[in-house]
Amino acid sequence: MEPKEIKQNINCFYIPEIESQFIQLPEEESKHAVKALRLQPGDQLLLSNGNGKLAISTIVSNDYKKTIVEVNKTIETSPLPYKLHIAMSPLQHSDRFEWFIEKAVELGIEQITPLLCHRTEKKHINLERMNKICISALKQSRQSYLPKINSLQKIDDFIKTETNTNKAIARCEGERVNIKNLITSSKSTSYTILIGPEGDFTEKEWELAQQYNFTPIFLGSNVLRSETAAIFVAAAFRYEFIY
């Protein structure tokens, strides 16, 4: 949760290293601060290192190539009381998967793994672009923790090597556990959830997940798009743990 001393209208910038009193913003961030936001010396901004540290800072020099800020106060924030890892197949339309990443960051997800399933239509991902979207969403929502986005992984390999003991798979039919019951009945605070591609998992993939103790979960009676199902899961966890 965001500390109370941070102003609601303050702009956030991603700076992986917040160690000194005076920090030079990278050229891209400097240009955004000066050209787009038109920030002036004396204006406040917020720095996030993506690893729990925030810094309330003041602009000293607003050069569009190397803006200098002075750190006024650093804040060490606590992570959310749960860890959520969503493993999901990339979608045929990249913008829909990118939308999922953006919203997942806003909701506080810890980790995302793109899955290569039998019915996955898009076989490649642009990891660099996904990380940029992740950083942009962190700044927009003023998060202090940057989620990790893993490289594309074959679903069979992921199922066989996933070590989280509290793991589940979204299932469109059959006997399933309500997602609320999954969350409230477990003492664990770390979860891994599998979300299938358009057309769902194959029977072979489903059987393998069962073999490796993935719990089938129910996300409601409506048929959801893959990205909607993933956001539903992220929102459900945030609601149950935060509110």
Tens digit of pLDDT for each residue in 194-233? Answer: 999 988 899 999 999 999 999 999 998 888 899 999 999 9
- To the nearest whole number, what is the mean pLDDT of the chain? 92
Q: Tell which residue, 225, 159, 220, has the closest CA to residue 193.
A: 159
- 138 with 14: CB under 8 angstroms? yes
Which tokens is 123 given?
Answer: 């076989």
Whether 48 shows a pLDDT value over 80: the answer reads: yes
CATH class of 83-242: alpha beta
Q: In what order do the strands lie in the sheet with 44-48?
A: 12-14, 44-48, 53-61, 68-76, 22-24
Residue 93 one-letter amino acid: H
Q: Give SS3 for 28.
A: helix
User: Which residue has 């050229």 as its token pair?
Assistant: 27
Q: What is the pLDDT of residues 100-136, one digit of tens each?
A: 999 999 999 999 999 999 999 888 899 999 999 999 9
Mean pLDDT of 76-105: 94
Rg of the chain over Cα atoms, rounded to whole angstroms, equals: 20
Domain ranges of the chain: 12-76, 83-242
Return the CATH architecture of domain 12-76: Beta Barrel (2.40)
- In this prediction, what percent of the chain has a pLDDT beyond 70? 98
DSSP structural state of residue 89: P
Mean pLDDT of 166-190: 87
Which tokens is 185 given?
Answer: 């009945």
C-alpha 80/C-alpha 109 separation (Å) is 9
> Exposed/middle/buried for 71, CB within 10 Å: 0-12, 13-18, 19+?
middle
C-alpha 229/C-alpha 217 separation (Å) is 11
Q: Tell which residue, 197, 172, 195, has the closest CA to residue 121.
A: 197
Whether 1 shows a pLDDT value over 60: the answer reads: no
Position 57 scores a pLDDT of 96
Contacts 24+ apart (CB under 8 A), 158-162: 158/87, 158/113, 158/115, 158/194, 159/194, 159/205, 159/208, 159/209, 159/212, 159/214, 160/208, 160/212, 162/87, 162/192, 162/212
Mean pLDDT of 76-91: 94
| Residue 3 pLDDT level (bands cut at 50, 70, 90) | low
Instruction: Give, in degrees to the nearest 5, the angle at Cα 170 between 112 and 157.
Output: 55
Looking from the CA of 101 toward its CB, the CA atoms found within 13 Å total 30
Answer with the residue of higher pLDDT: 1 or 145.
145
| Residue 175 pLDDT level (bands cut at 50, 70, 90) | confident
* DSSP bridge pairs for 199: none
pTM of the model: 0.91
